[in-house]
Structures are given as C-alpha cells and as structure tokens.
Amino acid sequence: MSVTTTAPAPALWRSEKTVVRSGHRLHPHKPSPVSAGFAAPPMAGQITFRPEALAASMARTITLRHAPDTLLERWARAQLLEVEYMVADGATFALSPDLTALADAERSGFAGRVGAGVTDLLMNALGYAWRDNAVCLSSTLDSHADFIYGGGAVSGHGVVLAEAHGSFALAVTDGRIDGEARRKYLRQVKPHIGSSCVHGKVIHGYSVAFGSHPTAHDTYLHIAETKITKGRKKAPPVAAPPPGILPVATSLALAAHRSNFLLMGAFGVVAWIDWLRGVGEQPEDDLVAPFVTVELPGRRFWVSMEALLPYMRPWLFPDEVSTPWPPWHWEDFELWRRRYGGPRNVFAMDEWSAKSFLHALSGLIGGGREQLPQALELPVIEPSGLIEEPGREVREEGIRYPVAQFRDGLALLARLPRLDLPTTRVWSPRQGIG
C-alpha cells in the first residue's frame, strides 16, 4: 500500500533582508528642476526590511488596481503566503528552491509583484508617503509608469512617478537589470515628466529594477532617476520632513486610504471613499465601520472588527449598532487564540492616522462630493520595519510583536497581543467617530 506524504510548509523567514543598491543613473531633463525649489531626497544606499514589510508592500501596490474589493483583498493576502514559500531565510535576499515549481508565467508574475513591493519600500525609505496607480495619468496611454507618489520632498510641488520591474530569471545579471531600469525610465517615466494628472503635476520620476538569480542567488537593485541640475553652490541634502500633520492632495489621500482600509477589511469606509471618488451609488448612512484598539509598547493601532470575524462575535459593538450574531466574550476569543494561534498578519492603522482620516472623511461626506477641497491635513508617521532601525529596544520589540509601519499610517501586525477588554470605536459617515 502506497503512502502519500505532504511536505510541511516552510517556516516564514524571520531575518531582516538587506538589499544593497547596485547602481543609480541620473537622466537629464529640461527644465531642471521641473518645479522651482524642488530637490530630490538622497538616494538610499540600501533597503532593509522584514518579511511582513515586503508582503505588506506587495499588497499595498496590488490594491491600487480597479477590481472588485473582495477580489483585491483576497489577492493581497495571498502575498503573505507567496513570500513565505518563495523567499529563503537569511540576512540577504535569496529565492527558495520552491520557485522552480512555478511555471514561467507564474514566476514572472511573482517577480513583478516583488519588484513592485521593493519599489514601495524604497519610496517609503526616500520619504514619500502617499500613493496611487499611475493609470490616473491617462487610461489611453499604452506606456506609463506603475505608480504615483506624493508627500515628503515633493510636498507643495506635485507628485513623482515610480516604475517597478522585477525579474527572477536565469538570465538575470547586473548589466541586464541596469539596462531594464534605464530602458523603462526612458520609455515609461521620462515622457510624462512635466505632465499633469488629477493629483498634481509630475515633476520627478524613478525607475526601479530588482532582480535575483534563482540558483546563484545574486541580487541586484538598480535605480534610474530624473537628474536635477545643480547650480554653482552645492545644495544641502534634502531629508524627509519630520512626522506630523502635513497637507496632501485630497484625491491622493483618498486613493491611498482606499487601499489601506480595503486591506484592513473595513469595506464600509471603502464604499464611502468610492462614492466620493465618483464610483458607485451613495451608501446608506447606517453603513458604519467598527474598530478595536490594539496596544503595543508606545503605540496604538486600530484593527477593523470586520477583519477579525469569524474569530469573534461583534457583541462589543455599541448598542446603536445592530448585529445578527450572538455574543462571544473576549475570554472565548483568547481561548481560541491559545488553541489555534490565530489570527496572524492583521492589517491595522496607526490610531492618530485613523482618527484624523476618518474625521476628515466624515467632513467630506457632509460637504458632498461636488465640493471636495483641494487638500487635506493628515498625519505622516515614522516608518517601522521598513528601514534599518538601530537600537536594541526597537529590535527586541520587533522580534516579539513584528510590525511593518508605513508613513501613511498603515501597519501590518504579524500577530496580535492579548486583548483584555480593549477599547472599541465606531465610525459613522455622518456622526464621525463614536
């Protein structure tokens, strides 16, 4: 009698990955700079990230597409599994032998998604905070960059373009990846510098090419960037603005937070954002969004209670929120967690960012979508788990409760701490946060 055995799932790689920049080419443009006074941030020499940070960035880029919400949400969560199986453990980036089990088309698709994730990590490292799909440039353009970013050094000037490329082929070499970065910059970024989109004027651009040889494990990161002509006086390096309340184009904030709250599973918030952006019918006023507060040392996050179902029953909702489920106490939830170890990899929002945006969202809804302001004042958060973080306390905390925190407030919590009767909050489109 034959016995069928199933190979165990690999352990999620836990080491921080450091990818050193392999090359950086500057491409001249006239005029330079496109916006007077703009100075690009110094290019990072390397990026350092944990596994959940890469998976979260891959999910952040996927959910900027136009597709049904539930499809995007499930597709985004699949990135966590892909990273677990296809990337080997260790301090440097290397691919798992399991990659060879994929067909060529599937391998190319995975490489492209990793390339987009690495690009998102790099843009956050450079100080950019807000993002959208670059299809907003024009749906009729056949060739344009992948993403638009705002905030950071480009605040008050416009937006920047970012083209992403990833390759995990046997033909990957340093020269080939360098050539891809240059070719895609000239073809998909440079033609659009100086053009305008709904988020503002495009004043700068990047082409990021990431490649890794599947057997030799050689990894390359090349960036092509718009060159800014310097005057006789050497300009000082431009650092990212410190965390705080900063203006952002309303259209860009709505695009970024639509992706964020979709990842969190707060579909009521997504529906209202869609309506403000001119998509779909106006939701009912009783379409609310409940959240639970999660506390980590020195930080507080909001987790959508919709995302925790069916793990817990929403008996904690305030009385004005009607639910068809019977009550299930937190003790039962914690007992379930101790037995089964879940839920893991939960998307959350920094409390300050969540409260600020949801308050602004209620104001936008009250004013109507025909009278949207040009900009919103929203927080920009210091990232965590995306860049190298010196300091023993920070690293030890990250090992115990790994968190990938992005500048716009979105976070991925690898696991939740114990929830002993935590605070719950409900967002109402008309009444705000209760």
User: Which residues fall within 8 angstroms of residue 12, CB to CB, at 6 or more apart?
Assistant: 51, 83, 84
**Which pLDDT tens digits describe the chain residue by residue (434 residues)?**
443 443 444 445 667 888 999 999 999 999 999 999 999 999 999 998 888 889 899 999 989 877 677 777 777 777 777 887 788 887 888 888 888 878 888 888 999 999 999 999 999 999 999 999 998 887 665 678 899 999 999 999 999 999 999 999 999 999 999 999 999 999 999 999 999 999 999 999 999 999 999 988 899 999 999 999 875 455 555 555 666 888 999 999 999 999 999 999 999 999 999 999 998 889 998 888 989 898 888 889 999 988 776 555 444 444 444 443 334 455 666 666 666 666 678 899 999 999 999 999 999 999 988 989 999 999 999 888 776 555 444 444 445 668 889 999 999 988 777 776 678 899 999 889 97
Exposed / middle / buried, residue 194 (Cβ in 10 Å: 0-12, 13-18, 19+) = middle
Phi (first) and psi of residue 295, to 5 degrees: -110, 130
Q: How far apart are CA 221 and CA 212, in angstroms?
A: 9
Name the strands in the sheet holding 403-405, side by side, starting at the edge strand that comes first in the sequence: 403-405, 410-415, 344-350, 299-304, 289-296, 424-428, 432-433
What residues have CB less than 8 Å from 364, skipping those under 6 apart? Answer: 250, 276, 372, 373
Task: State both tokens at 388.
Answer: 């190298």
Q: How far apart are CA 242 and CA 380, in angstroms?
A: 8
Whether residue 402 is preceded by a cis peptide bond, meaning omega within 30 degrees of 0, is: no
Distance of CA 238 to the CA centre of its chain: 23
| Cβ-contact 216, 94 below 8 angstroms | no
Give dist(CA 320, CA 388) in Å, integer.
Answer: 45
Q: What is the pLDDT of residues 281-311, one digit of tens each?
A: 899 988 889 898 988 888 899 999 887 765 5
Strands 219-226 and 200-212: antiparallel
Query: Distance (Å, rounded) from C-alpha 210 to C-alpha 223?
Result: 9
- For the entire predicted model, the pTM comes to 0.87
Going from N- to C-terminal start, the domains of the chain cover: 17-241, 245-433
- Contact partners, residue 387, CB within 8 Å, separation at least 6: 47, 48, 49, 124, 125
Start-to-end C-alpha separation, the chain: 63
Strand partners, 130: 150
